[in-house]
Chains A and B, each alone.
Chain A
Amino acid sequence: MRPKVLLSALLTAGALAGLTVWVADALRSPATPAPIAEAEPAHPPADVRVGAAATSPAPPPVKVSGPLRKGDAPQILDPDSVDGILADLEKPGREIHRAALQRARELDDRSIIPRLREIAARTGDADEKAGILDTIDFLNLPSIDENMAEAQAARAAAGLPDPPQSPTNRWTGRPFVRKQ
């Protein structure tokens, strides 16, 4: 009989202790972040942050890096916007500049070109200048979909049909999955 009593007492005590810890933890953080945020690394490595900023599809505005000091107002910029890219190019650090130029290529907004030219003219670093000028050249290129649109318009004007589509992927041999 005694072991059963002891077991019951210990189980009850254990459950109460667990409940207490859980309640205390919940009360300590009433605005517990969503599980997805909780599981994010608190301090990802610098490269990861640069990579994420460079590739996020529609990132929320983020605080510009750097610890806030007393009296500082948090500056908020979308790193994928023209302003965000230009702000990063004004900061020190080759990696930051490289990532910003990569984002400029992806953003593919030619309105950034005049500002890039200004920055290229100011920089004394020959490699960085070359990188900026390469980016400007890239932005000035026509895109392949522009080529396709021109070709299609020319065919339409000439009354020619669109060429037949390939049924299979030339590299994998797998059939395409078309929507119509």
Chain B
Amino acid sequence: MKSIQTSMIATLLALGLLTLAPARIQAQPKALTVSLTATYQLPDVTSGADQNITKSTTKSVKFTSASILNLMTAANLGMTTVKGYTLIYDPIANAIGATNKATGDFQDASSIFSIDTSGTQVYSGSANSDTGQQSETYTTYVVITFDDGNGNAFTVDGLIKSTQSQPAPTAAQVNNGVTPNETISFSGSVNGFGTVVGSDGNTDTAVFTGSVSGGGSGQGS
């Protein structure tokens, strides 16, 4: 009888404490950093007495996160101005878009930009199923696509290295029923192909190379 009473009391107390726990914390996506170089072919130039010498050249342009925001705006695919906006990717919620920290506005970019992380993955590290503490390093084959609908588009792929960690909850977190945030960061080199609009207005095929990085912290799924 006494043990039943004790269990009841413990349950009631636990329920009481749980009502004091703060709401679950949302993920905090960080900026998505894109640094790509696109190289495309310029028209050949021939010279010589009988046009027997052909000179071939290429031109390179860069795609950065800021460029992508500008392309989104130019194509009416999001906000009307890039001022105050940051390109973000939340690896936990797998959401991509542009956010304005000052206004809180979020513009979904999933119709033009995608990051497919469902490819082959290997990982190492450790996880404690009792405490939730984990620290793991992943290597994932990732495919990233972009298309602004105006002629600038790419698909790049590569191996992205990411780290995922979650500390064991502190005593206060246990008492408050709070799960520690999961933190993910990733970076890697990517290569691929696509098209770019040249300064002459023509759309040219191009090869792409560069890197992407980002991360986030929040509640895991």
Please give the residue numbers on chain A whose beta carbons come within 8 Å of chain B beta carbons, in ascending order.
3, 6-7, 10-11, 14-15, 18, 21-22, 25, 35-36, 38-45, 47-48, 50-52, 54-58, 102-103, 105-106, 108, 138, 141-148, 150-151, 154-155, 163, 165-167, 169-172, 174-180
Contacts and interface: CB of A to CB of B under 8 A. Distances in A.
A173 B135 CA distance: 38
B163 A48 contact: yes
- For the complex, would chain A's binding face be called helix, strand, loop or mixed by DSSP majority? helix
A43 to B, nearest CB: 8
- For the complex, would chain B's binding face be called helix, strand, loop or mixed by DSSP majority? mixed
A12 to B, nearest CB: 10
Given A102-B33, A165-B75, A25 B186 contact: no
A25 B176 CA distance: 11
Contact of A48 (B1, B38, B147, B185): B185
Q: Which of A50, A51, A151, A165 has the most CB of B within 10 A?
A: A51
B197 interface: yes
A142 B62 contact: yes
Contacts of B145: 169, 171-172
B35 to A, nearest CB: 4
Nearest to B201: A151
B76 A51 contact: no
B185 A51 contact: yes
Q: Which of A47, A142, A148 has the most CB of B within 10 A?
A: A148
Interface string B30-71: 111101011000000000000000000000111111110011
A39 B173 CA distance: 8
Contacts of B6: 10
Contacts of A147: 61, 196-199
Nearest to A168: B149
Contact of A15 (B13, B88, B172, B186): B13
A166 B35 contact: no
Of all A-B residue pairs in the complex, the 8 with the closest CB atoms, nearest first, are: A51-B185, A57-B86, A145-B70, A150-B199, A151-B201, A171-B145, A57-B31, A105-B35
Interface of B: 1-2, 5-6, 8-9, 12-13, 16-17, 20, 22-23, 25, 28, 30-33, 35, 37-38, 60-67, 70-71, 74-78, 80, 86, 88, 99, 101, 108, 111-112, 114, 135, 137, 145, 147, 149-153, 155, 163, 165-167, 170, 172-173, 175, 178-181, 183-187, 196-201, 211, 213-215, 217
Contact of B197 (A6, A102, A143, A148): A148
Contacts of B88: 57
Given A51-B186, A55-B33, A108-B64, A38 B178 contact: yes
Nearest to A29: B172
B131 to A, nearest CB: 13
A9 to B, nearest CB: 10
A41 B181 contact: yes
B172 A176 contact: no
